[in-house]
Chain A
Amino acid sequence: MERTIKIPELSLVVLVGASGSGKSSFARKHFKDTEILSSDYCRALVSDSENNQACTKEAFGVLNYIASTRLRLGKLTVIDATSVKPEDRKRLVKLARDHYVLPVAIVLDMPWQVCHDRNNERPDRQFGKHVVMNHTSALRRGLHSLRKSEGFTNTHILKGVEEVDTVKIERQTLWSDKKHEHGPFDIIGDIHGCFDETQILLEKLGYKVSKIDNRYSVKHPSGRKIIFVGDLVDRGPKTPDVIRLVKHAIEDEQAFCVVGNHDDKLKRALMGKKVKIAHGLQESLDQLEQECESFREETKQFLGSLISHYVFDDGGLAIAHAGIKEEFIGRGAPSIKQFCMYGETTGEIDEFGLPVRYPWAEDYRGDTVIVYGHTPIPEPEWVNNTINIDTGCVFGGQLTALRYPEKELVSVPAKKVYADPIKPLETKALRSSERSTYDLLDLSDVTGKRILNTTLRKSITVHEENSAAALEIMSRFAVDPRWLVYLSPTMSPTETSLKEGHLEHPDEAFKYFKSQGIKQVICEEKHMGSRAIVVACKDAKTAAKRFHVTDGLAGVCYTRTGRSFFNDPKLEKQFIARVCKAVTNADLWKKLDTDWLVLDCELMPWSAKAQSLLEQQYAPVAVAAETSLSEASKLLAKASKRVSDVDALKDDFKGRLKLAQKYRTVYQHYCWPVKNIKDYALAPFHILAHEKNLNMDKDHKWHMDLIEQLCDVDPELFQKTKYKIVGLDDDTACAKASEWWEKMTAKGGEGMVVKPMEFTAYGKKGLIQPGIKCRGPEYLRIIYGPEYTRPENLDRLRSRGLGKKRSLALREYALGYEALKHFVEGNPLHKVHECVFGVLALESEPVDPRL
């Protein structure tokens, strides 16, 4: 009969056999070339010769390196070396265990004569009989230990030529692999014998629970399935019923259950092993004593059949009693089982004599949702995509279920306190809020070269030097990362205009969007202040709940680089309160069904934030220009009375003086002193996000209409943004918008921003610019210098390249969008922060600052 060997799909397969036993042919027959690591091949890699025994050590160094890399990446690996000595195999077993992979041995036990004959046929293997004989006898001597004590999960011995030639190998998925199960699921926390609460919870979740002939039936009308996180037993009043219900549900394929530490201990007690009777084990044993012998046997079998963890939904969900590290998911090893049942401890003991648990979830960075129990807590809290749902039912808390994929929590209160917790749950509550894991970011979340994949754009690269620069700004100057849910992207100007006296003109913006197939744009007045992001919560409680910030603030206002806008915290508090009041008065909390908003705004005056820039750069240039140009004009006028050839120079300098004066007028327009909140003007133009909603996909009219309502209730603080909606096929409308722009800019306005109506828009080659700024000719004096409009200057300035700026604008936009998306979806802080940090890092890329 043909023999079939089953091996786990992720394992380290060690072939054992003398030289010439046919390992390489065997391996090639059953495994992919890339799965096989042969010691001979590694010898050749390092020394150009497959048979160079002198470099055995180096060759195994290479083999080990490749094998361990493959195992780390989760790839089955076959070791094709003689491995006839126990010490050689021991190293390989350790290698497998180090990577939580199952080691499997396949022994090719051939008569030595066969091996010798085969070697004889090969010119490169002309060594004496004794070599093969030694191999074979070493192998046979070691067979017993190989099977019993070397630590292989399975040892398969193939005897003789025929068996080796005919054997079949079948790869098996791990028991934990339930990736094909997509749910939806209801995941239930630690039950500890609380049968009544379990039944109530299941019914609350919509399950029909019935009992016929001592057999439970649990079914959900829409086919949902249950997952139990373990610790079914001990402490509580009805452990046998819980076991029955769970066991029957599993048998009916309605449920899954992972093993908890209590379940495991009870099993061992039932097996007659010596265990310390404590922590409620006695209750279980007493209750089982009331049952018949066969039920106790069934219970023992059932508990023994529970495995450490499951992976569901294409790897989207993992369940383990005490949690699981990312590198353990979908692997098998005794140490993983230990971790899954007990978690990890720091080796320290707290004041209640309990081991201090290592906060593995804080380190977790995976995409798989991990649901677990084990440690009773007052309220489940998401930590980096993981959630503990043990709410201490047996201690008088609640029994909690998590709906997946909905991520909704459903709980029922305990009927009574069945057991006294070793430390009070209240203490836990205190500790848990203190240790709020939402604020601790890891340096590895942000530094080094990073490649970020976003919804709008794939693989955005952030270079190491840029993240280094961003780290300094972020850590020294930015607001608390929990508030920093978004940073605004840079914005590109229009293509350069060839119109006389212009560098930028609306025509170019229209042309760009038209060429991208956009039908309708919105032209929004561009205010000249400082870009500000305002995060406003209904109250400090919302801030604590939604933003995890507990210092009593209900919001913040920060700049393009994440710095707090106001240096005075009192003023900021007043400002936020004022914004919130407006939101309340405009009834937007209700209209949007939210407790918080993120607003994208311009905050005026410019001088409020740019004072030092004005005093150190803009105003001095005006002083220097006016002083020297006016003195020069006077002297030239005087000289022209005597010397005729200075006339041209005289007129020239007079003209230049006028430009210098115009330059001063431009910036003066954007300055006024600010003493208190009344002196500020806030012009919001996007409601970027609110509860459950990322609004960067809503059209601009939606934004403008809501913002108008906000402006109407507090016209003193809020300033409306004038806008025009323009159909790009309508030439008259375009011309009118240009006229409008000319009028605004002639009066000292900065200009306007042209945006595709639908906010986030796509063209022929994917994402297109979300906005193009079109700055007025006067405004540009403070960008390109007072005299940039002189024809000889303008001509030279026209050769400016926009490519870099536009690419940067898109990358930053995609990252900002992604950051907010993560926040809206309630994803872990590091996900949000990684993107925000990326925007700041990209901002440090060198781009012409005048664009």
Chain B
Amino acid sequence: MELNARIPDGPIDKKWEKHKFDLKLVNPANKRKYKVLVVGSGLAGGAAAASLAELGYEVECFCYQDSPRRAHSIAAQGGINAAKNYQNDGDSVYRLFYDTVKGGDFRAREANVHRLAEVSNNIIDQCVAQGVPFAREYGGLLDNRSFGGAQVSRTFYARGQTGQQLLIGAYQALERQIGLGKVKMFPRHEMLEVIVVDGVAKGIVVRDMVTGEVTSHVADAVCLATGGYGNVFYLSTNAKGCNGTAVWRAYKKGAAFANPCFTQIHPTCIPVTGDHQSKLTLMSESLRNDGRIWVPKRKEDCGKPASQIPEEDRDYYLERKYPSYGNLAPRDVSSRAAKQVCDEGRGVGPTRLGVYLDFSDAINRLGANKIEEKYGNLFEMYERITDENPYKTPMRIFPASHYTMGGLWVDYDLMSTIPGLFVLGEANFSDHGANRLGASALMQGLADGYFVIPYTIGGYLAGIKPGTRIKADDPAVKAAEQAVTDRTDKLMSIGGKETPTHFHRELGKVMWEMCGMGRNEAGLKKALELIPQIREEFWKNLRIPGTGNDVNQSLEAAGRVADFLEIGELMCLDALERRESCGGHFREEWQTEEGEALRDDENFAHVAAWEYKGEGQAPVRHTEQLAFENVHLATRSYK
């Protein structure tokens, strides 16, 4: 397998401009002769499907939800970054590029990140024109707020619902094209196979989640925009339906999987209350502007109510360890620090897996009204879930799986190692390196969908003769359909005793314990023994009632869990082989004396991309060397 990133020549700030000119074009009258499939309808998929249809391509779009408006992009709270420099505070495309490369702990591809920063401004223009009601100043101009990992105010926001509003913008653009007949939408459809002919992607196989019918769709190109695989941990901030199935099918058909061990654990989520827990809820990073994080200095105090622990017995550990960033240290650093104090037995709450996020100082300083104005909706959500009043007692928070920086490997054109298969948004690996900064996920999803793929896919399609699509009765199509049907039959026929959720929970425990916030060789090797055991038990003892011919949510869950049981193994393998600490990947063997991540740029300044070699075969690790020609390699310090 060859990993050719196809990065254009020239200075970093001219690459994209030059590449856009060099890309071949498809004549306007020919565009309708090409069909493109878009899988996923979140920010990346929705934006891509709408934009490609506007250009004139025939588009089909698929999502597992009942409507494209429900993709999990909708849950993003905080905001979206752009280098507008409306605040006159020294922001620029170059600074956004620089912050993102550094924030990613030098494991992202410079050229892609620079392009992301360049198009960030177009995104804000586009969204405003669509009617996204961003927050505004009294003068009518757009407001900005600050976010972690940056020293400028470049985050645009719509209350605590920025993801929702951006998604509705993309959704409305998509619905407009559906109404015009330019996009055919397939909600409640799950992609279960990629059709590959002579090494080139030619279509997909989907299951209609209402009727159980398995059908094929053939096309000239396929775009996967199916999000991340964070639900491999079972408990995460992802929606229940988020899954890794589409990218995993593509991996098994020849698409390299890059940096699977790069996962983001978000520091401020509401802690687990018991085994019944089905998901975790995020509390926005913005709370750390006014909340102070602490645990008792002594283990013996952890059972007492917070109010009975005097000031001198509290350990504000982030302020102590990182005086200059304090409670606003980046996500990976804050999460690890919380884990450390809980490992020392100083966690709080019934499970002792929690730390306090305390607003009492801010309330004394600013008044409860001011705090309510800033964070009222978050406090209300917290109260609803925990039945505790955060104005009176400190919030309890704990880290949780939130985002996956790893994903399918793509070149500069967002094309995977399977020609014709493009990967957008969280599903690809390219822009966030080993740690994503806040408010950058929305930016990347929309950049890929609105402003990158419409250009790069044209360059690919221009090389294909119109009308050369494979036929629906091609043997490759029939074989792919059969593979899906066989797999469904296999799952339905196990006839064991346990539910899909049971196995998912078991996997989640192993992943969280051994491939979560802290990883080490012994733990990862143990995980690599345990996961195949859970998988074996799954295929022996799974029970799915009902049939495959109508709505069967157990069957849907089982298919996804089956894939997570394989994805988890690859994550552990990748984590084992990456013998360094960087960003969200913390190998306990590689840390400084103060317990900070210790990168090994000499041996690991590369992307690790895994090639599938067949059932029962070990996958092969390939590398793409990363060159840092503009942002020079340096140790991240937040002290």
Check if A and B associate: no
A interface residues (Cβ-Cβ under 8 A, vs B): none
B interface residues (Cβ-Cβ under 8 A, vs A): none
